[in-house]
Amino acid sequence: MTENNNNDQFNADELEAPKWLNAQFIAKVLSKYENEPQLEVLDLKISPASAKGDHYASVMFRTSVEYKTGKGKLSKSLIVKTMPEQEGHKKDMLNESHLFETEIGMYGDVLPRFEKILQGVGDTAKLYVPCIYNSLEPRQVLIFDDLVPLGYSVMRYRELTIEELHCTYSKLAKWHAVSMKVQNEEPEYLKEYKYGLIEMPNLMEDPMMTTGMDNFLLFLNEHPSLAKYIPYFEKIKGNYLEKIAEFMTEYRRNPRDNAYYVLSHGDFHIRNMMFKHDKETGNLQDCMLVDFQICNLCPITVDIVYSIYMLMGPEERAKDWENILNYYFSILLETLKKIGYKGDFPTLKGFWKQIYRSKYFGKIFTFFLATTFLPMMWAMKSNTIDFGEVAQKNEARLKCYQIEGYVEDMTTILARFERLGYFDDI
């Protein structure tokens, strides 16, 4: 979601609203939501609501609507989330996925229940913004109240502060804790949430995923100080995507004893959260998680390890990541106790053991994030590379590895991998 209407920032399929998104459609939605049969839309303005790179699997529009009911004239800003209209490989892939079905279930059932459990013990944390409309047929659509007029914004041009990071990890920890309680008491309740990133049709054959390791090896070869790491990544490149799939789906296929499984967010990165600050003091007031299309039951470390590379800035990744994750775990444990969790409690030692898992699981996932997703995150933050081209052209993806910040960041990360023994026995 963005307040900037510079067309260069948006994907082509977000520049023009689909024909069905009109005054008649919005009137029907609001009439049902507000139980006002005579509602009439007086004016409707539509603009793009997300910048390139914000959402790979959907397009979003902001609709500013003026309308009247028996109560008088009113106005409202809404966010409409739907599938891309343009034909092509991406649309075909998304049409075959369970993305909107998952998100509708999250907004309509799971997250309200999670919040109710927290409210039952006096915790007022908001996990989601209410959804006022959803449909799968004749088209896949979700509509929400717009958070921007309420003072929320996406952080685009700076890294998050420690306070902001703590806020996001606190929300995630509470979500994870409640999901553990629900799994323990009603194991069938969440079983349909099984379509994570890895299950998106044909995604693992998408060049955006498959070219990462080869591009990273070229990057290592171009930097003599890093060339010593080439043999390690050469050894894993043949089957690492298959091993990642095995790791991310193990809850359903081969759950391990003493592992911690949760309903994950699945895409816990900086563009999937919004922050509210006091206009006068600048103090942080709240953060809100968004985009629940790939929530699924999986190892707790999927969200956690993902966040190290897709949420933290390079300074936090280098110096504070362990303290930040320890903070997350403290909130997880505190919430489990508060909500009356009856299963075996996770331990801090067990949590860190799962982060440092064997070479063919957690470490391979970590390598994938650092070598494939992190360069694209640097591209988004730098605002110097067209993210639409990054998704489509390998020459654009190669440029991501040339961003100065990524070189320094990766130098630190690889040294840590070596220090922690990540390359042992590969």
pLDDT tens digits, 182-225: 999 999 999 999 988 887 767 778 888 899 999 999 999 999 99
Which pLDDT score, from 0 to 100, does residue 386 have? 79
Angstrom distance (rounded) from CA 110 to CA 103: 10
Is the omega angle on the peptide bond into residue 375 within 30 degrees of 0, that is, cis?
no
Q: For residue 148, is pLDDT > 90?
A: yes
What is the token pair recorded at 237? 């490149």
In this prediction the pTM is: 0.91
Which pLDDT score, from 0 to 100, does residue 7 have? 41
On average, the pLDDT of the chain sits at 89
272 or 10: which leads in pLDDT:
272
Which pLDDT score, from 0 to 100, does residue 163 have? 98
Residues 403 and 375: beta-carbon distance below 8 Å: yes
For 337, other C-beta atoms within 10 Å of its C-beta total: 12
Q: For residue 139, is pLDDT > 60?
A: yes
pLDDT tens digits, 354-375: 888 754 457 888 999 999 999 9
For 238, other C-beta atoms within 10 Å of its C-beta total: 9
pLDDT tens digits, 98-107: 899 999 999 9
